[in-house]
Structure 1
Amino acid sequence: MDFLTPPNLNADVYRNMTITDRPVSNKHLQFISIYNEKSAILGGSNLTDRYWSGTVWYYNDITNFDRDKAFLQIKTESGVCDGIFLQSDKFVIGEDSGALQVFDLSAKPSDSEELQCAGYAALHDNSLLTLSAFADKEHIVSGGMDCCIKVWDISELMATYSFGFAHTDIITCVDAKPGSDTEFVSTSYDCEALMWDIRLSKPAQSILKRDAGLTAICWSFKQPNIVAIGTDDGEIIMVDVRKGGVNVLSISSAFSRPIHRLLFNPNSERMEELAACCDDVCVEVFDINNQFSLIYKDDRHTDFVRDLTWFDSHLYSCSWDTVVLKHTIDFENNI
C-alpha cells in the first residue's frame, strides 16, 4: 500500500493555497448588472468546493459574457450574493460573509486599468443577500440573513440607518423606489412585505401578509405606487401601496416553485412587461395589463436562474449553469 497517495495530500495542498492561487470556478452565477454597453458586472460563487469563494467579472463589452472575455476580474474570500452599479466605473457587492465592498475602475501607472477596493465594511452578522441603490446613487439599502436592513452612505461607507430585526426571518429582497432617496420595500420569509420611509419616526408600514414566505419584490417604473411581490409558493401579487390603504390588485399562480427574482421593464414604451424567474430553469415575461398573460418563455438554462436585468429592450439572465442568455421579447407574438 506504500505506492498509494495519502488520501489527504491533495486536500492539504489546496488548503494551504492563497485565495489568488485557487482556480477560478465558473459555476453558480449569482447576479448580473449592466450599466451601459461598455460596463457590466457578473458575479459567481463556488458553492461545491472546500471554500465558498466568489468571483466578480467586469466587462467593457456586453456582446459576449464568456468568463475569458471579461476585461477584469476580482476574487472574494466568500461567495458573492448581489451587486449593483453606482457609476459606470463604480459598483458595490454583497458577500456571504456579511461584507459590503465598493470597487472602482482605476488607472495604473502602466496605463492599464484595474479594479480597486474603495471601501470595505462587515456590519451584517450573516450573509448579505440583497442590495438596491437609491436614485442619488450615493446611498444604498442592504438586507440579509441576520434579519437586519441597513441604509448606507457610500461616500463614508457608514450605515446611517440600521434596523435590527426589521423582519423576524431572513430578508429575501429589498428594492428602492424609482426616483426616491428615502423610500424602499422589503420582503422576508416571515410572510410579510414592508414599505419603508426613513424620514418618518415609524419608518415601516406593512403592505402584505401571506401564509407563505415572500421572496422577491420590485417597484413599477410606470406606476410608482405599484409593486410586484413573489411568494415561496410561486405566486406573483400586484399591490397598490398608495397612502390611504393597501390594495391587492391581482394574484397570479405563475410558477410551481418559489419566485426568486421579479423585474419590470424600464423601457418607457414597455413598462407593462414583468420578467420573472423561480427556483427552476425558466425565464418568463408577463403582461401585467392583460391579466398576467405570458408574453415570453425560455427554458434553455439547465440549472436555477438566479438573476435578471433589462438593457436596451433586451432581457439578460444568468444561472447556476455558468451561462448568460440574452432574450429578445417579441410583444407582438404572444405565446
Structure 2
Amino acid sequence: MSYGDGWHDVIEESPASRESGKPSIEQHLTFLHFAEDGKLLLGSCNFVDRTHTGSIWAFSQPDLPVTAENSIARHLCASPVSSGIFVGVNQVIVAEDTGIVVSYQLSEFENNVVHFVPQHYTQPHDSWVTSLSLCHGGSDVISGGADMRINVLEGKGSAVKTSYYPAHAELISCVAASPDNSSVFASCSMDRTTLLWDTRISRPAKAIVEGDCGYTAVAWKNENYLAIGSEMGMVHVYDVRSLESVHDLPLQKMPVHKLAFSNAGLLASCSDSTDIRLWRFESNKMLLPESQHSMFIRDLAWHPKSETLYSCGLDGNVFCYPFS
C-alpha cells in the first residue's frame, strides 16, 4: 500500500524533544545497519515514559558522535522500532512493534535538507516484528515476527509476496537470507528449532537443528555455513550442505542476541549483556574486544568499506572495534 492510503504520518515529538524544544535521539538504541556507501541507519526507542515511542536516524559518517545535530535525517515513528535495514543506498525498510513495515526514501530537498520520505507501508504481522533480512539481489525482504509468521515482502517491502504461518511453534527470533541465493533463508525460534527454507519448493522448510533450548540468532558466512546462537549462550556453526555441525562455541554466558560475519570471516556476537565476542572462522581463535557499553548491546554491524565492527546498546551509545 502506498503511503497516504489510510495511514498518517507520525505523530508527536518524543518527550525529550518536547522538553528541550529540539529533536533528540531516544535513550535506547535498538538497531544499526550500513548502506553500501557507508551511511548509518540507527533505530532508537523510549521505553521508560508513559508513551513508548521510536525514531530512525541517518548519519553520513558513523564515527561522529551520535547526536541529533550530527544526523543527516530523522523521522519519528508511531511506536518503538524493532528492526531496520538499508535495501538501497538511499532506501530503508523499518519494522515497528505494532507489526507495521514501512519503506522510506532518503530524499534531498532545498538547502540540502534530507528527509525520510515514506513510500509504502504494509502490516504483515499481528505483533512485534523481530527481524528483517534483505534477499540476495535486493528485490525481496524476509520478515519474522512474534506472531510465528514469516513473510516474503516484494518490492522492497511494498507488499506481501508469500506468507508462512505458523512458520514455527513459538516466537521467531531471527531470519537471515542467504547471501548467494535469493530463494533461500534461515529462521530460528524459541520453539527450539532452526529451519532452512527454499521458497521454490512445495515443502519449503527443513530442520537444521532441533535442540533442547530456544534459538535466538542466525547469520550466514557464505551460502554454505550458518551460525546459530542459542539462549544458553552457545553458537553452533553448521554446514548447510550436510546439515552437520562443524563448530560448537561457548561464546556467551547469556542468551545470544545478535550474530554478524565480516567479509574476512570474523564472527561477532553479543548477548543479553555488555559483552562482545569475536571468533575467527578459519583459525578457530577467540578474540575478546573490550566493550564500553554500560547496558545491553542490541545490535552489531560491520562497516562495508573499513570492515570495522560497530555496536549499539540500550545505553544510547555506538562504539567501534577496528578488528580485521
Q: How does 1:285-296 map to 2 (within 5 A)?
A: 285-291=278-284, 293-296=285-288
Q: Distance in 2 between matches of 1:283 and 1:117?
A: 34
TM-score where L is the length of structure 2: 0.90
CA distance in structure 1 between the aligned counterparts of 2:147 and 2:37, rounded to whole angstroms: 36
Of residues 277, 289, 306 in structure 1, which corresponds to 2:298? 306
- Please state if 1:47 is matched with 2:14: no
Q: SS state of the match for residue 135, structure 1? A: coil
Change in Cα spacing, 1:18 to 1:93, as seen in structure 2 (3 Å) is closer
Deviation per residue, 1:41-67 (Å, 9 max, x gap): 100111111112101111122231412
Q: Which of 309, 323, 330 is the aligned partner of 2:317?
A: 323
For residues 25 and 300 of structure 2, the distance between their equivalents in structure 1, rounded to whole angstroms, comes to: 21
Listed one character per residue, the Cα deviations across residues 220-256 of structure 1 (whole Å, up to 9, x for unaligned) are 13xx2110000000001011111xx421112122211
Paired positions, count: 305
The equivalent residue for 2:3 is none
Larger Rg: 1
Tell me the residue number matched to 1:102: 103
Give how far 1:155 is off: 5.4
Note if 1:278 corresponds to 2:265: no
What is the deviation of 1:113? 2.7
Stretches of structure 2 lacking an aligned partner (at least 5 in a row): 1-9, 18-23
Instruction: Say if 2:251 is the partner of 1:254.
Output: yes
Query: Quick check: 112-121 or 139-148, which moved more?
Result: 112-121
Name the amino acid aligned to 1:160.
K
1:21 Cα deviation (Å)? 6.2
Counterpart of 2:31 in structure 1 is 31
Residues 216, 229 of structure 1: 8 Å contact kept: yes
Please tell me whether residue 20 in structure 1 is matched to residue 28 in structure 2: no
Offset at 1:25? 4.7
Give the TM-score taking structure 1 as reference length: 0.87
* CA distance, structure 2, for counterparts of residue 18 and residue 35 of structure 1: 27
Larger RCO (CA under 8 A, 6+ residues apart): 2
Partner of residue 184, structure 2: 183
RMSD of aligned Cα (Å): 1.7
Q: Secondary structure at the match of 1:124?
A: coil
The alpha-carbon distance between structure 1 residues 61 and 205, as it changes in their structure 2 partners (threshold 3 A), is same
Residues 111 and 260 (structure 1), Cα distance of their counterparts in 2 relative to 1, 3 Å cut: closer
Calculate percent identity across the aligned residue pairs. Answer: 28
1:126-205 equivalences in 2 (<5 Å): 126-154=127-155, 157-205=158-206
Please state how far the C-alpha of 1:26 moved relative to its aligned partner: 2.8
